[in-house]
Amino acid sequence: MKAIAFTRFGDADVMSLQELPDPLLGPDQVLVEVRAAGVNPVDYKIRAGYLQGLMPHHLPLIPGWDVSGVVRAVGIGVQDWKPGDEVLAYARKDHVQFGSYAELISVPDRMIARKPSTVDFVTAAALPLAGLTALQALKAVGTGSGDVVLVHAAAGGVGHLQVQIARELGASRVIGTASPRNHEFVRSLGAEPVAYGDALVDAVAELVGGDGLVDVVVDNAGGLAFDQSLQLVRDRARMTSIVDGPRALENGVVNTWARPNAEQTQWLVDLVAAGKLRVEVQQTFPLAEAVKAHRLLEGGHVRGKVVLTV
């Protein structure tokens, strides 16, 4: 099969299109013909070697944890899937090596959700990791009916989904930080936009009124946003960060790391099919141009997601 892979860690140029052996198919795995692969910040962090102390890595390494495609074959222990099924998955395995930037990928059946026919492969591939991160972070701090929620980086891959999911979970108001050029986009998702920067605390307090505090904060940005959020959240146990685990633990804040969850993935993609969740894809690239996709994502300021097509 053709796949994007690298044999040493480094910048985007270490990746190239290669011919590699087809994946093995374990007894509880599904072999998927990849139609699209979501590109996430964690992908370039893996490529740069930043996660080597967290999970086992093996070279040559094919990046990518998001996938949509068509089932080609199933393992002998798989009962719920058959060739021809259209699927999607957050396919993070225990070892980092055989990812979704490829023509084929083997995925444990416990991670897979069924793609509705009305959801295209690009949209489906953009959803799993960002959607699960968004949902699990909100659930980790008990987001529910009547909550006022502050979402940082509300125009980004996770944030733009989080805004919508928070409303789906019952939040009465969602405030989203974004650069001014993305304020109309954030507003279209159902949030009240505010600009990043030194004036954020006062701006949010003025929007909220009363004591100037919010019920829930989801930090998708880190740095200054994290510090400001400590001043804005009513209870630190209802603030979560997806970017700064050590500081979160030091400050009584919940740290979120997305876990594969087929049931939640299905719930999310069914929302998309029902027109209740919009997945913004800023740009697609053919598989062979994965280097360009990484450079775009590393440059920041991506609205929504970037996806590779196969």
Number of Cβ within 10 Å of residue 241's Cβ equals: 26
pLDDT of residue 294: 98
pLDDT tens for the chain, 310 residues long, are 999 999 999 999 999 999 999 999 999 999 999 999 999 999 999 999 999 999 999 999 999 999 999 999 999 999 999 999 999 999 999 999 999 999 999 999 999 999 999 999 999 999 999 999 999 999 999 999 999 999 999 999 999 999 999 999 999 999 999 999 999 999 999 999 999 999 999 999 999 999 999 999 999 999 999 999 999 999 999 999 999 889 999 999 999 999 999 999 999 999 999 999 999 999 999 999 999 999 999 998 899 999 999 9
Integer distance in angstroms from the first to the last C-alpha of the chain?
11
Distance in angstroms (rounded) separating the CA atoms of residues 175 and 187 = 9
Distance in angstroms (rounded) separating the CA atoms of residues 80 and 286 = 31
Pairing of strands 104-108, 29-39: antiparallel
Residue type (1 letter), 42: V
CATH tag for 2-115+280-309 (out of 3.30.70.260, 3.40.50.10860, 3.40.50.1370, 3.90.180.10): 3.90.180.10
Distance in angstroms (rounded) separating the CA atoms of residues 89 and 110 = 9
Domain range summary for the chain, segments of one domain joined by + = 2-115+280-309, 130-255
Distance in angstroms (rounded) separating the CA atoms of residues 249 and 241 = 10
pLDDT of residue 151: 98
Q: Do domains 2-115+280-309 and 130-255 have the same CATH topology?
A: no
Q: Which CATH superfamily is domain 130-255 in?
A: NAD(P)-binding Rossmann-like Domain (3.40.50.720)
0.85 surpassed by pTM: yes
Contact predicate 24/105, CB 8 Å:
no
pLDDT of residue 301: 87
